Structure 1
Amino acid sequence: MPTFLDILPFVAALLAAGVLAGLLAGLFGIGGGAILVPIFFHVFGLLGVADEVRMHLALGTSLAIIVPTSVRSFAAHRQRGAVDIDLLKGWVVAVPLGTIIATLIAAWASSTELRLIFAVIALVLALRMIFNRASWKLGDDLPANPLKFLVGTLIGILSGLMGIGGGVMNNTFMTLYGRTIHQAVATSSGVGVLISIPGLVGYIWGGWGKPGLPPFSTGYINWLAVALLIPVTLYTAPYGARLAHAMSKRQLEFGFALFLVAIAAQFFASVIF
């Protein structure tokens, strides 16, 4: 059984990561998954976590942290009547199905393959943010099934492989089909619930009994990181939000896109070198 002194460096590193993640999440207005995964990956590496499980652990732990925050956010948005409940009902199978498929892929994929997947998706999202135009539109209302079901499944797959709540992807989908950004953001909180809960279960199953995991881990979820990061990110996010008010929406979008490009480049470099 590890002593307090054994886990002290682990705790200190995770607290520092939580401060940074909270500030960045508040600054860019994005649920912290895309920020937490690269931070976890590097912190777990500094703490000597085996490379074979490091990326898996980062993804699973990120999704575990999203569970309470997405549930809380969904409840608040639903109370205000801003959520598209019909869309969520139509995705109650599609999105979790996609997330479970993602965890199955992750269970069989190597750390290198998961880093490449994360980097490619991050780069695509960054390019979408850089070249995005408010005038872009594909229709006046959301498409019918089976296209809508397939989009929900795809959002679940891509989000599960990135350890994120799917907000950026759902916001893009809804606004391209004539919905307001406010309704898209509110509905994304519900999408986060549909992703994070099955993702949590799937990453526990996928990593069950794997060697090389750090203390306090169940499968690919590190509960010490979860317990430390939730209060720290919730506390520091408002400070990042204060910084955000000094910038325009376009500046924030461009800033987050550059952050994703930097992370993608870093992951590409870690694979090549």
Structure 2
Amino acid sequence: MESTLWLFAMCLVLGSVVGLLAGLLGIGGGLLVVPALVWLLPQAGIPNEMVMHIALATSLASIVLTSGSSARNHLRLGNVDVKAVKMLAPGIVLGGLGGSVIAELVPAALLPKIFAAIVLFLAVQMLASIRLSTQERTLPSTTKCVCSGGVIGVISSLAGIGGGSLTVPYLNWHGLEMRRAIGSASLAGAIIAVAGMLGFIAAGVGDEALPAMSVGYVYLPALVGIVSTSVLTTRYGAALVSKMPTPTLKKIFAVFLLFISFKMFIG
């Protein structure tokens, strides 16, 4: 019980940072939650062979509320392109479910490296896009958006993230101004997280080796700690978006991704 309370307290701190980043960058916080839980869970007595799956599932569950809160704030500020989200939604739902199935089949030792490689690619992509103009591009056809949403959903669920790190560059590349891309990614991230979370819950149901207070692979003490503070701090991140220039936002986003990738590669 003492280790569980310690984990809960640490997740309260983690959630406050996650909420701020969710509002500022349009991410659900999985890029921070997953590596943090990979470090925290073993210290709370969680078996190593289950740590990555529990971290991914709990991250996605926290994103449902964190991204949902962030999306609500961005909607209020007029930063969400609902049409773009609707075009991506069918693909990201199917992809989110598919990613959770793939994660169950991949050896646990490989998941952190896959996560790190995905994040490194996203960081390089974001840095390369800083000087590129996207104002004349438009969203592709509905079919292409559904397919793109599927890819975003699979990768996001496999990495335990809400997809903002994929959705923001995708929407920005196709003509959405950075603030609207971030706001739209928050809403899309909540949708991805619901699909991925349900997949991980189904995959873990019936596993008697899971720790107490688990729903499938979702570990409730960590989840409650994270969302208790994250839903309160998203508003401050969303407010900052309206005050910062697009190149600055992209640089912050890219540096954040590089840091997370490096930490996961070195274990």
Closer/same/farther in 2, CA of residues 144 and 128 from structure 1, 3 Å limit: same
Aligned to 1:71: 68
Q: Distance in 2 between the 1:137 and 1:12 partners?
A: 43
SS in 2 for 1:146: helix
Closer/same/farther in 2, CA of residues 111 and 224 from structure 1, 3 Å limit: same
Q: Distance in 2 between the 1:72 and 1:26 partners?
A: 9
User: Quick one: which of 153, 162, 166 aligns to 2:163?
Assistant: 166
Aligned to 2:254: 257
Closer/same/farther in 2, CA of residues 174 and 22 from structure 1, 3 Å limit: closer
- My pick for the range that moved more, 172-181 or 209-218, is 209-218
Alpha-carbon distance, 1:58 to partner:
0.8
8 Å contact from structure 2 (residues 4, 44) kept in 1: no
Aligned to 2:230: 233
Aligned to 1:18: 15
Aligned to 2:220: 223
Q: Distance in 1 between the 2:204 and 2:215 partners?
A: 8
Alpha-carbon distance, 1:78 to partner:
4.0
- My pick for the range that moved more, 6-15 or 240-249, is 240-249
Q: Distance in 2 between the 1:187 and 1:256 partners?
A: 16
User: Quick one: which of 191, 194, 199 aligns to 2:196?
Assistant: 199
Are 1:126 and 2:120 an aligned pair?
Answer: no
Aligned to 1:44: 41
Alpha-carbon distance, 1:53 to partner:
1.2
Aligned to 2:90: 93
Percentage of matched positions with identical amino acids: 34
Are 1:140 and 2:140 an aligned pair?
Answer: no
Alpha-carbon distance, 1:182 to partner:
2.6
Amino acid at match of 2:5: L
Amino acid at match of 1:260: L
Q: Distance in 2 between the 1:255 and 1:177 partners?
A: 21
8 Å contact from structure 2 (residues 137, 175) kept in 1: yes
How much is the aligned-residue C-alpha RMSD, in angstroms? 3.1
Amino acid at match of 1:152: G
Amino acid at match of 2:226: L
Closer/same/farther in 2, CA of residues 263 and 174 from structure 1, 3 Å limit: closer
Structure possessing the higher radius of gyration over alpha carbons: 1
Q: Distance in 1 between the 2:243 and 2:74 partners?
A: 25
Aligned to 2:210: 213
Q: Distance in 2 between the 1:233 and 1:252 partners?
A: 20
Alpha-carbon distance, 1:244 to partner:
9.4
Q: Residue by residue, what CA displacement relative to the aligned partner does 1:212-265 show, whole Å, maximum 9, x if unpaired? A: 433311111111111111122344567888999998764554344344333323
Q: Residue by residue, what CA displacement relative to the aligned partner does 1:12-41 show, whole Å, maximum 9, x if unpaired? A: 333343355456657766431211111111
Closer/same/farther in 2, CA of residues 145 and 237 from structure 1, 3 Å limit: closer
Count of residues paired in the alignment: 267
Are 1:180 and 2:157 an aligned pair?
Answer: no
Given the two structures, how large is their TM-score scaled by the length of structure 1? 0.83
Closer/same/farther in 2, CA of residues 257 and 210 from structure 1, 3 Å limit: farther
8 Å contact from structure 1 (residues 96, 156) kept in 2: yes
Q: Distance in 1 between the 2:242 and 2:80 partners?
A: 25
Q: Distance in 2 between the 1:27 and 1:77 partners?
A: 10
Q: Distance in 1 between the 2:10 and 2:68 partners?
A: 27
- My pick for the range that moved more, 10-19 or 33-42, is 10-19
8 Å contact from structure 1 (residues 52, 110) kept in 2: no
Q: Residue by residue, what CA displacement relative to the aligned partner does 1:132-191 show, whole Å, maximum 9, x if unpaired? A: 324244962111143222111111111111222212222211221222223222221221
8 Å contact from structure 1 (residues 19, 236) kept in 2: yes
